[in-house]
A = this chain, B = another copy of it.
Amino acid sequence: MSRFQEETATDEEIAAEAALYAPFTNAVRELVDVTIRTEVEPDEVRAAQVEVEAIVERLRKKQMPGAYGVRFRPDGSRGRNWGNAVMGLRNPIAPPLDVRTDGEGRAWSDFHLGAAYEGPPGLVHGGVISLLLDQVLGHAVSSSGRPGMTGTLTIVYRQGTPLGGLRCEAWVDRREGIKTWGKGRMLNADGEVTAEAEGIFILPKWARNLDRFRAAAEASEAGFDLE
């Protein structure tokens, strides 16, 4: 199983990796979308399958033993979470969300959700809404100076959220001991609130016990991308 790992790559190496993997992952995101939507002839689907299987075989010749994990700089200045289900630069199921923070407990993201995120017809899956809000709330909490693992998450659905352009916003509501309360909401393209969220985030044990990571948590401005 993957664990928190120390980042061994330099800035230049990370930039080169991003330039390689971001467009490849975007191509796979397009493939995910068209896998749902294509209406070409069966023979063309079968031909595509054979080709995809061949690509998979080649790419699997050298691969990590498990999931991507999270890679931290020795100075704790940054966490690289490229496998993350919501934000991962290398994860095709991540929309991906580019979450912005103000360093004082506010986080937000503007993004687009296509066919892959559907629940009710034409609408975002209710569980996808909770997935994204969990992530953005976590960032708000991290950006307040302390990382947090989700303890409790409550989502109230106000109306259907249409697929398309959307926005998530989150902020820190209050803090008590190892707990931080975050609140947030999902907005549709017209700026109407479609869902609201409240989460209780718990300071993880490693951040309480390990000096290095505690220092990292305190130093982090952009958040730890823990989720």
Tell me the residues in window 147-196 of chain A with beta carbons closer than 8 Å to chain B beta carbons. 149-157, 160, 162-163
Which A-B residue pairs are the 9 nearest by beta carbons?
A127-B131, A127-B134, A1-B122, A67-B115, A130-B130, A126-B150, A38-B59, A69-B121, A93-B93
- For residue A221, CB closer than 8 A to chain B, the reply is no
Instruction: Using known A-B contacts A24-B45, A83-B36, determine if residue A127 contacts B227 with beta carbons closer than 8 Å.
Output: yes
Q: Which of A86-129 touch B at CB < 8 Å? A: 86, 88, 90-93, 114-122, 125-128
Task: Let me know if B130 and A116 touch, CB within 8 A.
Answer: no
**Nearest chain B residue, comparing its CB with the CB of A115:** B67
Q: Mark A3-39, 1 if CB is under 8 A from B, else 0.
A: 1110000000000000011011101101110111111
Within 8 A of B (CB), among A67-83: 67-70, 82-83
Number of residues from A at the complex interface, CB < 8 A: 89
Bound-state CA distance A10–B2 (Å) is 46
| Residues of chain B lying within 8 A (CB to CB) of residue A133 | 127
- A62–B38 contact, CB under 8 A? yes
Q: Is the CB of A118 within 8 A of B56?
A: no
A210 close to chain B: CB less than 8 A? no
CA distance A44 to B54 in the complex (A): 12
A84 x B21 contact (CB < 8 A)? no
A62: B residues at CB distance < 8 A: 38-40
Cβ-defined contact, A32 with B126, below 8 A: no
- Nearest residue, chain B, Cβ from A17: B42
Q: List 29 A-B contacts (CB under 8 A).
A: A1-B162, A3-B122, A20-B42, A24-B48, A24-B52, A28-B35, A30-B56, A31-B52, A34-B59, A37-B63, A38-B60, A39-B64, A40-B62, A48-B59, A66-B122, A67-B118, A67-B163, A69-B118, A91-B115, A119-B227, A127-B134, A127-B150, A127-B227, A130-B134, A149-B157, A151-B157, A153-B155, A154-B154, A154-B155
